[in-house]
Amino acid sequence: MRKILLLDREFGAGGSTLGARLAARLGWKLFDDELTREIARLANIPVDMCQRMEEHADPLLKRLVNIIWRGSFARNIPPPHLAILDTDRLVALTRRVVEEAADAAPCVIVGRGAPYYLHARTDRLAVFLYGSRELKFQRVLSRVGGDPERAAEMVDTIDEDRRVFHRRYHRIEWPDRRLFHAMFDTDLGDQVVIEAILQLLLSAGDHGSGTPA
């Protein structure tokens, strides 16, 4: 059985929920929000700012982060304990954190470009999760306090941001099926998808091609 389970997902398809349930079933370490906190720690920026920048290639946001990092709108030199973060550095930090998480196998890693960064490892199983817009909307709606306008805006824009990010930094069209061993429609139901992933994980050998055919 392979010891690293990678879950990439459309926004709202249930990646975090399924990742947590799979990690609990397997008794493995879960890396999800912990990755964001570690990236933020290394970058010396607030966690919420790191969450906004992850998987985005937005020059305006990059400039905004640099301004905030300086502590004011003045163009003063940042204090020695603060590093200047740009999008390229955030990508490098993300890769470092993902690779370190994989070294803690057995584990489940959710998102953060892990299928790309770890594509050469033969001890990983990479799965992509997708779903209908209505399912994704309902999932997101329950997490944003019942605000339908905000939920719809997030469902309709965040995946496009991810596509831009992967096209710009990884030169792939996301989701690139070559990076995944399987793709599951979460409209089938969480339990059905969980059991299918577990069966696939148990059936996959520890060796073989690092990249799916």
Structural domain includes residue 71: yes
Single out the residue of 170, 19, 169, 196 nearest to residue 109, CA to CA: 19
Task: Output the pLDDT for position 175.
Answer: 95
**Confidence label for 62 from pLDDT (cuts 50, 70 and 90):** low
We report the CATH number of the domain holding residue 195 as: 3.40.50.300
Provide the mean pLDDT of the chain: 83
Q: Is residue 38 domain-resident?
A: yes
Return the pLDDT at 71. 38
Q: State percent of the chain over pLDDT 70.
A: 78
156 located within any domain? no
Residue 135 has pLDDT above 90, yes or no: yes
Residue 114 lies in a domain: yes
Place 47 in a pLDDT band, splitting at 50, 70 and 90.
Answer: confident
Whether 162 is covered by a domain: the verdict is no
Strand partners for 5 = 108, 125
d(CA 210, CA 106): 17
Structural domain containing residue 192: 4-132+177-203
Q: Which residues contact 104 (CB under 8 A, 6 or more apart)?
A: 29, 31
- If one counts the domains in the chain, the total is 1
Look at residue 46 and tell me if it is in a domain. Answer: yes
Q: Report, as an integer, the average pLDDT of 154-167.
A: 85
Domain-embedded: residue 158: no
Residue 208 lies in a domain: no
